[in-house]
Amino acid sequence: MRIATWNVNSITARLPRLLAWLESSGTDVLCLQEAKVAEEQFPFEPLRELGYEAAVNATGRWNGVAVLSKAGLEDVVKGLPGDPGYDGSVEPRAISATCGPVRVWSVYVPNGREVDHPHYAYKLQWFEALQAAVAGDAGGSRPFAVLGDYNVAPADDDVFDTAAFEGLTHVTPAERAALTALRGTGLTDVVPRPLKYDHPYTYWDYRQLAFPKNRGMRIDLVYGNEPFAKAVKDAYVDREERKGKGASDHAPVVVDLEV
């Protein structure tokens, strides 16, 4: 079973590439982030033609998450129980579903913007709600994983230059402590480091030739419980999908399971 996560940075802009990648990669389940469409504009039909069901939590031009599955789609939960919301509204940042033998969450963690910005406090509160929401499944006997754009680099070697991030979000002790607390529910990072190259980054800014210079970050993560981790046979970042015209600024992260 092949499971992946990918921040597509607008499913409308990325649809031709997404469809081609799904067809060529043999992915059974894709956790998708930053759909940036309302649910009624989501491209259900072209995905259905490729054999994918889709569960979607999306409301408009920002955020939006989905689970695409060829392995079944049951027990869908839209949103994060206990979501603290931001500026008076709850954003579409989480969705969970059971896909055959595996249960997954697709999450798009708040960016945080700046350390002294209210969005940063919201980010930490959102992590607390996520931790509470997944704790039961994380400790269970069924393979379970939380996949998505976490907007946190777990360690210093997950960014191209620690000096470039001094005083910025994504690398602060509080954000990394939130990841540690999430793993404390019974989850582990199932994508090994290094992979087939020294720095398996998953995100590169569009600006300043960041991708050609490999000035990236590893912020798209797959955290699985023990049954999920034991089933992992391979994992990789598909850097090729970050290349060329019309690419997302994130690359897919792929995990192969024997379940």
pLDDT in tens, 132-168: 999 999 999 999 999 999 999 999 999 999 999 999 9
State the pLDDT at residue 85.
Answer: 97
Q: How confident is the model at residue 97 (pLDDT cuts 50, 70, 90)?
A: very high
Instruction: Write out pLDDT tens, residues 38-95.
Output: 999 999 999 999 999 999 999 998 999 999 999 999 999 999 999 999 999 999 999 9
Question: What homologous superfamily does CATH list for 2-257?
Answer: Endonuclease/exonuclease/phosphatase (3.60.10.10)
Q: How far apart are CA 3 and CA 107, in angstroms?
A: 14
Res 61: pLDDT: 84
pLDDT for position 192: 75
* pLDDT, position 197: 56
Closest CA to 111 of 95, 126, 90, 89: 126
Distance, first Cα to last Cα, the chain: 7
Q: Using one digit for the tens of pLDDT, what is the confidence trace for 174-194?
A: 999 999 999 999 999 999 765
Helical (H) or strand (E) element with 18: helix 11-25
77, 95 Cβ separation under 8 angstroms: yes
pLDDT at 13: 97
The C-alpha angle 197, 200, 201, rounded to 5 degrees, equals 140
Percentage, residues of the chain above pLDDT 70: 97
Please give the Cα distance from 178 to 125 (Å, whole number): 9
Q: Where does residue 78 rank: exposed (0-12), middle (13-18), buried (19+ CB within 10 A)?
A: middle
- Full-model pTM: 0.97
Do 123 and 175 form a contact (C-beta atoms < 8 A)?
yes
What's residue 200's pLDDT? 81
Higher-pLDDT residue of 201 and 194 is 201
pLDDT for res 105: 98
* 195 pLDDT higher than 60: no
Question: Helix or strand or coil: residue 45?
Answer: helix
